[in-house]
Structure formats: C-alpha cells, structure tokens
Amino acid sequence: MAVDAPVRTSVARVASCALWGLEAAPVTVEVDVANGLPHFNVVGLPDTAISEARERVRAAIRNSGFEFPLRRVVANLAPAERKKEGSGFDLAIALGVLRATDQLTVDVTPLCLGELALDGGVRGVRGVMPRVRGALARGVDEVLCAQENAAEAAAAGARAVGVRTLREAVAHLAGEAVRTPAAIPPPAPPPRTAVDLADISGHETPKRALEIAAAGGHSLLLAGPPGTGKTLLARALPGIMPPLDADEAVVASAIHSVAGLVDPARPLLEARPFRAPHHTASHLALVGGGSPPRPGEVSLAHAGALFLDELPEFARHVLDTLREPLEEGSITLSRAAAAATYPARVTLVAAMNPCPCGHAGDPAAPCTCLPDAIERYHARLSGPLMDRIDLRVHVPRLAYEDLRDEGRETSRAVRERVLAARERMRARLGGTRRRTNAELTVAEVRTHCRIDDAGDALAREAMRSRRLSARGVHRALRVARTIADLAASDRIRGEDLALALLLRGAA
C-alpha cells in the first residue's frame, strides 16, 4: 500500500499597515505556501486593487529573477475583520512569498509599503506619512518603501529605506547590498506670495479685518460690488499668516499625503495651506467622501485658509455641509464599514456680491435686479452658516484718488503683529491643544474674555437690537480678545468689543 508524501507547509509574516482616514491600523501579511495545485489567493477582506495584487506579485517575482512557487499560495491580511484598500500591500506580499519559499533567508522586520510594477519595480503609494506615524506609535521604527516615499517616511520620524525594485529590497534585507536610510528632508519652501498688502490701495477696514482673521483664526466674509478688490484681499491672507508649528505641519502634511498631494522630495509643509475651490464643487469635493473616504477641501485647508469666492454661487446644501467643521474643527465621514475623521480647523474667507448684478447699494452704478431676485440670492446663505462667520466687511468702490495713495503698510509689517498676537494666545492657552482665540470654548470665553460694565452693556444692547444669538455674542467676544491681543492689551477694552460688533455686521 502506497504511503502519502508528507505535506510541506511554510508560513512567513511581514508587517504592513492599512489606512482609514488618518487612522493607521497594523496589518500582518501572512503568506502560506503548501503542496497542492498551483493557486494564488489573497484573503482578509481585500478590495479589488489588493485582489489584483496576485497578478502583479506573480509577474514581479518572476521578472526580478526569482521563482514563483507552483504550489498553493495563500496570503492573509490579518486581522481579517476589517476591509483593506489600496495597492500598498504588494511589496509585503511579495516578500512574504520569497521568505516562505526560502528565497529570502531572513525574516522581514521593517514595515513594508509599496506597489509593484510587472517588471519588479516598486512604486510609491498614498498615505505613507500617517501609516508610518501609526507604526512608530507601536514601536516599529524601520520602514521599507518605494524610493519616492522614503523622504516622506523619514519626515514622519522613521528609519526609512527606499528601494527602486523588488531585487533591491531583497538584497537590502539579506545584507548583500545594504541601502542607506533616507535623510530627513527640508520642509517645503513657502510659495511666493502673489499679493502684498502694500499693493492694495485704500480698503483700510477690510485690511484690518484681514489682520484680525489671520491673528485669531476667525472666519471672514468680504462683500461688495464687482472689481473692488475682494479676491485680491483674500489672496493677500497667506502673506500675513504665521508659519505652521511642528505639530500642525505633521498633521497637515499627513492629510496631503492621504490625498496624494505632497512633494516627494519635500513632503513636510511649512506654509499654511490656502485652498480655493471653484463654486461648482460638490459637497463631496468640499468636505470629503468616497470609499474609502478621502479628504475634501476643508480638510486639505486644515491649519490654513479656505477661500470661497462667489459664495452665493455655491449650492446651498454644499455650503451647509461646512456647519460642523466650522464649529468643531473636524469632519467625520460615516460609511457602512466604518467612519473616518479628518481635521478641518480652517480660517474661512469668503467673497460675494451684494446682489446678482453686483451693484445693489453702489452709488456709481444702478442695480438692475428685482427685489425677489436679491432675496433669492441672499437666501442661498443659510442663517446658521452666516452665524458662524465672525467678520463681515463691506468692500466699497474706490475713488481714482485712492489708487495713488502712498505709505501703504506691507504684509511683512502686518505679519509681525500677527506673530506677536499668536504668541500671546499661545502663552494664554499653553496647557491646552488650542492655538487661536477662534478655538476658545465657552468656559474659556468666560475666563479669558471678561469685559467691564460698559462692555457688558454694549453686548446686551447688541444682543437685543441686532438679535444676536448666544453663539454670535461668544464669537464677538473671541474677536474682541484678538483685537486686544493685536494691541498687546491684557484686557478687552470697550473699543475692542465695539470694533468686533461693528465688523460682525458691516457687510
């Protein structure tokens, strides 16, 4: 009687990482190679891109000069209870196959991220920075990835080794040709500011509001006839905003990494983002969405500015999706499988005309709009959204003589005051994660925004006569606190609160 041949089995394990939003989840790629009919299967709730890795891995192994086993091969992405997306597991699966068949004689200890080309090349993937940050939190400090992702992984704080091919990855792990870890890249240089405040004639009140918005992170609406400089003023905002601090830079860069928008050579942002989506943008483009959920414009502008030109031209339901992020500083995208949360702490800057033709209230040109057209135009902006806008400033038409004024203040001079005000805020909020006055909680408003009896009477009268909500009063107090910080004052003066209330209802 014939005796069955013993079943040969070999299992290899390689560390990788899945991503949902900015949350990184560890994934162990387990590869089992056993006797049986030739078959290659990937399990563990893979999406289509991962299922197709079978063909990429098989071709890459053969074209790199290795042998793909003509046996039963199973790759499991553990834990299997959570869905995995993307092509970033290709490198880990291929190395697992080579280790399980003893073509790679050492265990694979680094975190492995990368997509494989059919010729064995290793391509970069999105979201390397948040994946590496998640691995560092779990004690994994070495990363093996595509050459184009190495600088990004190094910027996250890992010992990052970049490889161009699968053959290079095997040679490095086997000690045959050890590659030097990537150096920490310099931060991306700030973009050249196209607009300096010195280039803008007149408009002292809008410029003052722009300074307050940059210092305190307050939302700003610029309203006025066409051609008066609303867009020009908004484009000057990046030139007076402070640079990102270390924590903000990492989070903002991680969001851009997930979206695939980082510079491979300089992945760490230094300047605050300035995003200006077109008014035809959908709500998914603005706040994010898809499966897996991708960040939208409001998250890509995190720690920076989101500029919405021609505000009423955006669909009303699109604008209303901004209510939560403007209030909470984050956006949660819920899907059937899970929920992804992205930071969305932005300085909103918007511009609009007073009516469809743009000349309502303009002494230089008559308005041709019917009253009901003007009413419909303003109805596109909901009351709850407008209540979340701290500063509303009218941008009037300038006289010819105003175009020749001299001695205009530069963005550099204004930026110095903004930096000094931010330092005062940082010292006041040192024990919290908040950085600006716009982020103050109600309890902190009561503590840091105390007003005297005259200011209290002014706030009471404003709430009565202008029907301000409680949120509106608190926002006015936060703006007054910023005005006082710009004036290097420890207390809120009556004129600070008066200016805050004036700027809240000027548009």
CATH code for the domain in which residue 27 is found: 3.30.230.10
Instruction: Check if the beta carbon of residue 349 is closer than 8 Å to that of residue 222.
Output: yes
Q: What backbone torsions phi and psi does residue 488 show, to the nearest 5 degrees?
A: 60, 40
Are 141 and 210 within one domain?
no
Residue range of the domain that includes 91: 9-173
Are 246 and 161 within one domain?
no
How far is Cα 132 from Cα 156, in angstroms, rounded to an integer? 6
What sections of 361-410 are H helices per DSSP?
A: 371-379, 383-387
Are 249 and 305 within one domain?
yes
- Examine residue 243 and say whether the peptide bond preceding it is cis (omega within 30 degrees of 0): no
Question: CA dist 436 to 218, 342, 354, 356, 418, Å?
Answer: 9, 19, 30, 35, 11
> Residue 159 contacts by C-beta under 8 Å, 6 or more apart in sequence?
141, 142, 143, 181
Three-class secondary structure of residue 15 per DSSP: strand
* Among the ranges given (215-219, 417-421, 456-460), the one the predictor scored with the smallest mean pLDDT: 456-460
* Among the ranges given (61-65, 79-83, 92-96, 168-172), the one the predictor scored with the smallest mean pLDDT: 79-83
How far is Cα 464 from Cα 72, in angstroms, rounded to an integer? 77
Q: Residue 213 falls within a domain, yes or no?
A: yes
Q: What backbone torsions phi and psi does residue 20 show, to the nearest 5 degrees?
A: -135, 105
Are 146 and 203 within one domain?
no
pLDDT at 337: 64
Are 17 and 158 within one domain?
yes
Q: Which residue has the tokens 């009516």?
A: 355
Are 169 and 299 within one domain?
no
Are 387 and 240 within one domain?
yes
Q: Residue 346 falls within a domain, yes or no?
A: yes
How far is Cα 341 from Cα 330, in angstroms, rounded to an integer? 7
How far is Cα 178 from Cα 343, in angstroms, rounded to an integer? 38
- Which of 469, 483, 366, 464 is CA-nearest to residue 424? 483
Instruction: Check if the beta carbon of residue 96 is closer than 8 Å to that of residue 27.
Output: no
How far is Cα 393 from Cα 309, in angstroms, rounded to an integer? 14
Are 159 and 209 within one domain?
no
Tell me the residue ranges of DSSP E strands in 44-121.
72-78, 111-112, 115-116
The last residue of a domain, from among 141, 173, 205: 173
Q: Residue 115 falls within a domain, yes or no?
A: yes
3-state SS string for 121-163: EEECCCCHHHHHHHHHHCCCCEEEEEHHHHHHHHHCCCEEEEE
- Which of 328, 186, 187, 295 is CA-nearest to residue 248? 187
pLDDT at 406: 64
Both structure tokens of 460: 């009471």
Are 250 and 379 within one domain?
yes
The last residue of a domain, from among 405, 433, 463: 405
Q: Residue 480 falls within a domain, yes or no?
A: no
* Among the ranges given (151-160, 347-356, 498-507), the one the predictor scored with the smallest mean pLDDT: 498-507
Question: CA dist 496 to 34, 145, 214, 455, 476, Å?
Answer: 76, 54, 17, 9, 10
- Which of 398, 218, 224 is CA-nearest to residue 311? 224
Mean pLDDT of the residues in the chain: 90
pLDDT at 252: 94
- pLDDT tens readout for residues 147-181: 999 999 999 999 999 999 999 999 999 999 999 99
pLDDT at 299: 96
Both structure tokens of 291: 């499966």
Q: Residue 442 falls within a domain, yes or no?
A: no
Are 156 and 214 within one domain?
no
Element (H, E) at 413: helix 411-428
Both structure tokens of 96: 């697992």
CATH number, domain of 306, equals 3.40.50.300
The last residue of a domain, from among 405, 432, 462: 405
Are 280 and 387 within one domain?
yes
- Which of 460, 503, 461, 463 is CA-nearest to residue 480? 503
pLDDT at 193: 62
Are 87 and 206 within one domain?
no
DSSP 333-358: EE-SS-EEEEE---EEEEEE-SSSSS
For the chain, what is the domain count?
A: 2
Count how many residues are written for the chain: 507
- Model confidence band, residue 8 (pLDDT cutoffs 50, 70, 90): very low
Q: Residue 246 falls within a domain, yes or no?
A: yes
How many percent of the chain have pLDDT more than 90? 67
pLDDT surpassing 50 at residue 51: yes
pLDDT at 407: 60
pLDDT at 501: 92
Q: Residue 190 falls within a domain, yes or no?
A: no
This prediction has a pTM of: 0.89
- pLDDT tens readout for residues 108-144: 999 999 999 999 999 999 999 999 999 999 999 999 9
Q: Residue 150 falls within a domain, yes or no?
A: yes
How far is Cα 475 from Cα 471, in angstroms, rounded to an integer? 6
Average confidence (pLDDT) over 26-32: 95
Q: Parallel, antiparallel, or unpaired for β 159-163 and 220-223?
A: unpaired
